[in-house]
Each structure stands twice: as C-alpha cells, then as structure tokens.
Amino acid sequence: MRAARPLLRLAVAALLLAGFLPATARAQAGAPAQGPGLAAHGDPKYPADFTHFAYANPDAPKGGELRQAVVGSFDTLNAFIIGGQTDQVRLIVPPYNFASLMTRGWDEPFTLYPYVADRVEVSDDRLTVIFHLNPKAVFHDGTPLTADDVIFSWQTQGTKGRPNTRSLYEEMAGIDRVDDRTVRFRFKPGIAREDPLVVALQPILSKAWYTAHAFDQPSLDPPLGAGPYTIGAVDAGRSITLNRVKDWWGENLPAMKGLYNFDRMRFDFYLDADTALEAFKAGAYNWRRELSAEKWTDGNYDFPAVQDGRVTLLTLPQYRSVGMMGFAMNTRRPIFADPRVRRALVLAFDFDWVNKTLLGGQYKRDDSFFANSALAATDTPKGAELKLLDPFRAQLPPQLFSEAYTLPVSDGSGRNRENLRAAQALLAEAGWTIKDNALVDAGGAPFRFEILLQNKSYQRVALAYADQLRRLGIPASIRLVESAQYANRVGSYDFDMILNTWITTLSPGVEQSGYWGSGSADVPGTRNYPGVKSPVVDAMIKAVTSADSQEDLQTAVHALDRVLLWGNYVVPLYYLDRDYIAYWGDLGRVTTVNPTYGTVLESWWSNAK
C-alpha cells in the first residue's frame, strides 16, 4: 500500500496500497465498474446500495472536541514535499483537510469506495482509468473541484512531490481532461497492478490556490482543501487545530456517513512520549493510544481519574499486519556490508530478556516483515513460492531453501551466551577478531557504530542491546537527537543504525519498492533505510505488484518476506497484537464491530451535552 489514512494508530499509518482490480470489479473502457467499490483482490464487502460502513454510526451526533498527543515537532503544513519536519504533519493535514477520488474501507484488506469520484471506469488491461467527479464536490472556499484540479495535483506532485508520487507519475502515459467533471489516466504497459488504486487515494489540490502559493517550499500557510476539516489555529511546533466543515459536501456519502463527528480535532506536539503520558493524566488532551504495553501494565494508568471513572481504559484486538519494527543497519556503511556480520548482530539481541525485564512480557517477537498476518513466511518455500524463488537460487543463501528462518531465543537470564558464541563465530568468518577486548578487522580498525534515536522511550532497549554488543567487543554508542536533526540525518541516510517501523497492510504493493527496492536505495527521503540493493528483492517486489489473485499475492509476499529475512538487514524487535486506548469523558463508538485494522478513530463521537 502506498499510503494510508492517518488514524494516528498507524503511526502507526501511517499510512501506505497494493493489489489490482479483480475481474469482477473491472470494466471495459467506457463501461462502469461493477458495484460501488474497487477491491484489490476479490469482491468489495459492501454492495452497491450500502448506506454506511459497519463500524460507523450514521446517527452519531456532531460536536465536541477530540484532542490527541503527537510526539515530535513540525515547522511546515506542506506534507507533500521533502523539506521541513513533515512526518507527523502527513498524518494530519492530507487526510483531514484534503479529499481524494476514492476512500478506503477499514474492515476489509483493501477496497476503495466513492469519494470525490462517484463513478470509475477501468479498462480490462488496467492501462486506462476514467474518474467521473461528483458535481457536489467543492473546496472549502466554495469553488468547484474539477478535472483541472485533479490533473494539476498529479502534474505538480508528480514532478515536485515526494519520491513515491514522482515514481508513479513516471509510469503514466498521460492524463486527459475529458470534460470539466471527467478525467482519464493512461498508464504505460508494465505498471504495477495497484497503480489505478493509488491514483484514487492521492489528495486533490486546488489549482487556483497553488497558483498563488509555492508548492515546493515549506510553509505554515493553511492549504485549501476539500476534506471534512479546515486547518484552524496553528502554533508552529506545538499544536494544530482542525475545524469541522459545517454542511460539508461529502457528509452524506455512504463512505463518509457517521464519520468525522467532532467539531474540532486538536493535535498537541510533545518532545517525548513520557511527557505526553503525564500530560494525558493531567487532562491536557482526551484521547490516547498507548503504544507501550509496559506502561499500560506497570501502574502508569492507575491514577485517580481511572479509579473514579472519568477516564476509560480499553484493550481492543487488531488483525492488521504490523509490519516490521527493528534496528536498521545502514549497509551503505562498509561494516554492515557482510551478511554474516548482520546475522551476528541479529544474534546479539536478547529479546527474551528484554521482553521479560523491560517490557512486562507483553510483546511478541517481530519475526516477519508482515507479522501478525497470513502474509508472514513460515517453514520453507514450497510449491508456487519455490517456483518463484528457484531461478535465483545461486544468489540466495542455501539455507533459505532447506531451513525455516528463525530468530535466536535465550533463557531470559540476560547472559545470552550461546547466541553470542554463534555471533562471535560469524564475525570471525567475516574477518573480525578480538584484540585487547575490542573487535577489530585485519588492519586493526575497530568495529564500532552509533545507534541514532529520536524517541527516548526506546533508549532502554537500545542500552540493553549495546550491553550485549559490548560482550562481542563492539562499543555501540547511543545518540538521542531532537526531531529536526533526526529527520535530516535519516532522510539523507547519515546514520549507522536507527530504530524504525515499516508499516504494511494486508494488501502490500508498490510501497515495498520504497522500502526495499534498489531504485530507492540512493534516493533521499525514501524508507529504504538499510540501503537494500538486491535484484532478487526487486524481482519479488515485482511479483507482489503484478499478482492477479489473492493466492498469487500471498505467494509473492511470502517469497519477499523470506528473502528479506535471510538478508538480515534489520535486527527484528517486537509487536503487540492489540491496541491500548484511554480516553477522558463520554465518548461513543460502535462496539459491535472490530475492524480489521483496529478501531477507526474517525467513527468515534462525543456524547457531551
């Protein structure tokens, strides 16, 4: 998935598309697609006459304010370019302030439903997509949203925007204005099968507004959009307030009914997670997703407002693929170039001790790049997956075909002796030896590196890892930096190792090229932080994006997962298979449905009078 709606749960999402339009959802050029939705694989869940998503309450009252915390900072509201502190802004401004041609349903793997486009036509070869725009769609200043705005959005973001948008634009053969309310996208042969869906999720810009405002520069000017909220008060680096658009043109669309119920949404920025938690306990904001299980279970949430019922605590299941969280080794650095060295560093992380001692035993090991889903590779490759991988046998470790990839386990004592011995043996094979208690190469140069962090809450885990590395003769230093410096260094790949989470979905696609593709390894601003350059990985990503059935998709993702795991590009950490939520006051939500991707915050409402 290229992009996901923000629900700060995605991060957590986020959020990233994949797949293609199945035969039942395709149409010959000039004929409407079947039903209201376009599914990546299979059929849409909702029929043509659906009135609202199951997780939304069409009678939800409008009103009240939802306040959330964001860890980090910002110095721009322009989320579409590389430049400035934009990571958190991308989770707030585009999905709430802007509208897109179609929108996602969150209780199925990946299906889009009408938004600005009330009808879509897709040619059987997927090279032509025609969107018919809803005549009610207008920008916040009342001006109509037209085909010219859609075309301008792609021409501008495709030439001046972020790398993933530019790469998709390069795959287009042309964009045509059929009439004021109709736009045709033409693609070059060989595109990823998900590309028509990615086009439908891109935020639509106002051509008139951006004619008077520079697109390619950071700016705190609130941009003009057509979404459910406008940008209100902005305190640079501190807070962003969104105001609900009264009589919004899209309010009664089936895919919007019962969503976006709060009159105001405020996002307060904090420098670290601990400060944000204390602010919540003091009532500074009213809705929080706790990402730390140890904080949830160690008494942090046993405060007076919980005890007397003013604060409600929820533990909710989630069934989304959690992706991969791990220490990323920058293979652009020579010390991480050898896969034996990378495997040794994987062996050195003592998850069992960390989980028991630092994390309250609440976590599962992140043993896949698609963990918590059926997309995770298991056992050894067989059948269609083996057929996919076999042509690359000479370029892959022999064990990939005969052994299941496993992560080291320990007795939880913190000694980790067996794994450290195995790591030391691999380092020796790679030419590293111990001299005067230090690991050095043949020329006597020491093996040392820095772990760069932005979030203080991960410092304990990094310190525990550094302690294990010290026993191998590796002095790993830890540097905690503020968000602007971190963004600059990570965006230019100026680091040895970072802790990162790669968000994925149940329908992964071309975003995998930005994560792991050779073409993204040297492009600033991508998420290929390890600098993966592997023709085998590239081939597996191609298989993922060209899969024409759910079965083929799963086969290709298993193969990609397996190749990445055996490449040992990251030191896998851990994940939760549930969401922890705390909130102040009387908030409502649909309780009869647990969406696949977890609770949908946009469907909540305030019961306050």
Higher-confidence residue of 382 and 72: namely 382
Q: pLDDT band for 509, please (50, 70, 90 cuts).
A: confident
Query: Which superfamily does 324-575 belong to?
Result: Dipeptide-binding Protein; Domain 3 (3.10.105.10)
Mean pLDDT on 351-373: 93
- If residue 450 lies in a helix (H) or strand (E), which one and from where to where? strand 449-453
351-355: average pLDDT: 96
For the record, the structure tokens of 433 come out as 């030896």
- What does the CA dihedral 544, 600, 288, 321 come to, rounded to 10 degrees? -20
pLDDT at 218 over 50: yes
Share of the chain above pLDDT 90, in %: 76
Q: What is the mean pLDDT of residues 153-182?
A: 93
Range in 302-306, 314-318, 531-535 with the lowest mean pLDDT: 314-318
pTM for this predicted structure:
0.75
Q: Region 201-219: what's the mean pLDDT?
A: 96
> What Å distances lie between residue 522 and 106, 452, 494, 518, CA to CA?
34, 20, 12, 8
Q: What integer pLDDT is reported at residue 89 of this predicted model?
A: 92
Which pair of structure tokens corresponds to residue 468?
């294990």
**Spans of all domains in the chain:** 8-261, 324-575
Q: Give percent of the chain above pLDDT 70.
A: 94
Residue 138, pLDDT above cutoff 50: yes
Return the pLDDT at 87: 81
Q: Domain 8-261 in CATH: superfamily?
A: Periplasmic binding protein-like II (3.40.190.10)
DSSP state of 52: S
The confidence score (pLDDT) of residue 25 equals 31
Residue with structure tokens 């009914």? 257
Residue 551 vs residues 243, 328, 383, 385: alpha-carbon distances, Å:
43, 30, 12, 11
Helix axes 339-348, 417-429, angle to 10 degrees: 170
When pLDDT is averaged across residues 297-308 and rounded to a whole number, the result is 94
**Where residue 298 falls among pLDDT bands split at 50, 70, 90?**
confident
Q: Looking at 304-313, 395-404, 412-421, 545-554, which range is the least confident one?
A: 545-554
Helices (H), ranges, 25-112: 93-97
With cut-offs at 50, 70 and 90, classify the pLDDT of residue 30.
very low
Residue 585 DSSP SS3: coil
Q: At what angle do helices 459-470 and 339-348 cross, to 10 degrees?
A: 110
Round the average pLDDT of the chain to a whole number and report it. Answer: 91
Distance CA 564, CA 397 (A): 11
Q: In the predicted model, what is the mean pLDDT of residues 341-368?
A: 95
Dihedral over alpha carbons 275, 276, 277, 282 (to 10 degrees): 90
What's the whole-number mean pLDDT along residues 116-129? 90
What counts of helices (H) and strands (E) characterise the chain?
A: 18, 25
Instruction: Give the burial class of 492: count Cβ atoms within 10 A of its Cβ; 0-12 exposed, 13-18 middle, 19 or more buried.
Output: exposed
pLDDT-based confidence at residue 153 (cuts at 50, 70, 90):
very high
What tokens appear for 443 in the block? 């020329």
Asked if residue 37 has pLDDT above 50, the reply is: yes
pLDDT of residue 34: 38
Mean pLDDT of 125-153: 96
CA quadruple 82, 83, 85, 86: dihedral sign: negative
pLDDT computed for residue 445 by the predictor: 97
The SS3 of residue 187 is strand
* Nearest Cα residue to 179 out of 151, 154, 212, 199: 151
What is residue 173's three-state secondary structure? strand
Between 35 and 417, the higher pLDDT residue = 417
What would the pLDDT profile of 326-350 be if each residue is shown by its tens digit?
Answer: 999 999 999 999 999 999 999 999 9
pLDDT in tens, 448-494: 999 999 988 899 999 999 999 999 999 999 999 998 899 999 999 99
Distance (Å, whole) CA 408 – CA 420: 10
Predicted confidence at residue 110, as pLDDT, reads 81
